[in-house]
Amino acid sequence: MRATTDKKHPRGRPKKDEDYEGPITKKLIVSQKRRGKHLCGDLSELKRHWDSRQSSKHDGKCVVCGLASNTVCGICGVRVHCMPNHGKAKDKACFFDYHSDACFGLTRADWTDIHGKSKKEWKPPTCTQINQNAKRIKDILAGEEVSDEEEEPAIYHHVTPRATPSPSAAAAVTGTVDPSTLYEPYTMTPAQLKKEAEQSSEPRCEI
């Protein structure tokens, strides 16, 4: 005789996410966001970076403020402060500033990497500057879509001399130039490089 249970299994396909009929509604989510409490957006990616934190044996400069830090974001590979409990950087949360869109371009490292200026000229941004930058970043992201050509990273390739060695290649052979200078960056797509090579008599490298 087949045993029976009190639990009944509903027939048919299980409900999908769009069939959700729980207490969480769009109105409830929007109200929480407008109140500025509880919800701060999807922080899954930020948590992934937070969980990757590592401590180094030696201190180095924080990429956000320049003060000494021994904490490294394992994913980004940079030193940032994660609210240390002692020292000059006590309670500094540079980790969040570095990963925030609102502070992109305002950190000490960005001052050199993005703006091309000396780190000695950098000053910590004010709350007003951060708010203005946050609006600027939001407007940029809401603007025109980035084309595939703009998204494609710079192509680095090795210059391979053919029948007639280039001057830079010949200099490298004789030891008068650093071989690392033979790596030349191009911000053109492979199609553009091929077209330019067909129009030029100079030897081109293989991509």
Instruction: Give the pLDDT band (50/70/90) at residue 179.
Output: very low
Instruction: Give the pLDDT band (50/70/90) at residue 114.
Output: very high
Cβ neighbour number for residue 109 with a 10 Å cutoff: 18
pLDDT of amino acid 155 = 33
pLDDT tens digits along 119-160: 999 999 999 999 999 999 999 998 866 555 554 443 333 333
| CA dist., res. 77 & res. 89, Å (int) | 20
Query: What are the distances in angstroms from CA 33 to CA 1, 26, 70, 102?
Result: 57, 11, 35, 18
Instruction: Give the pLDDT band (50/70/90) at residue 11.
Output: low
Decide which of 4 and 67 is more confident. 67
| CA dist., res. 123 & res. 105, Å (int) | 12
| CA dist., res. 62 & res. 72, Å (int) | 9
Decide which of 87 and 177 is more confident. 87
| CA dist., res. 203 & res. 185, Å (int) | 16
pLDDT over threshold 70, residue 174: no
* Token digits of residue 205: 């490298």
Measured in residues, the chain has a length of 207
Name residue, tokens 């330019």.
196
pLDDT of amino acid 170 = 42
For the range 160-166, what are the long-range contacts, defined as Cβ-Cβ under 8 Å and sequence gap of 24 or more?
Answer: 160/205, 160/206, 161/203, 162/203, 163/203, 164/203, 166/202, 166/203
pLDDT tens digits along 20-34: 677 888 888 888 888
pLDDT over threshold 90, residue 8: no
Find the mean pLDDT for residues 187-200.
54
pLDDT tens digits along 57-99: 889 999 999 999 999 999 999 999 999 999 999 999 999 999 9
Burial of 118 (0-12, 13-18, 19+ CB in 10 A): exposed
pLDDT over threshold 80, residue 199: no
Question: For 115, what's the count of Cα atoms within 13 Å in the CB-facing half-sphere?
Answer: 14
**In the chain, where are the structural domains located?**
45-141, 152-199
| CA dist., res. 26 & res. 85, Å (int) | 40
Torsion angle of C-alpha atoms 170, 175, 181, 184, degrees rounded to 10: 20
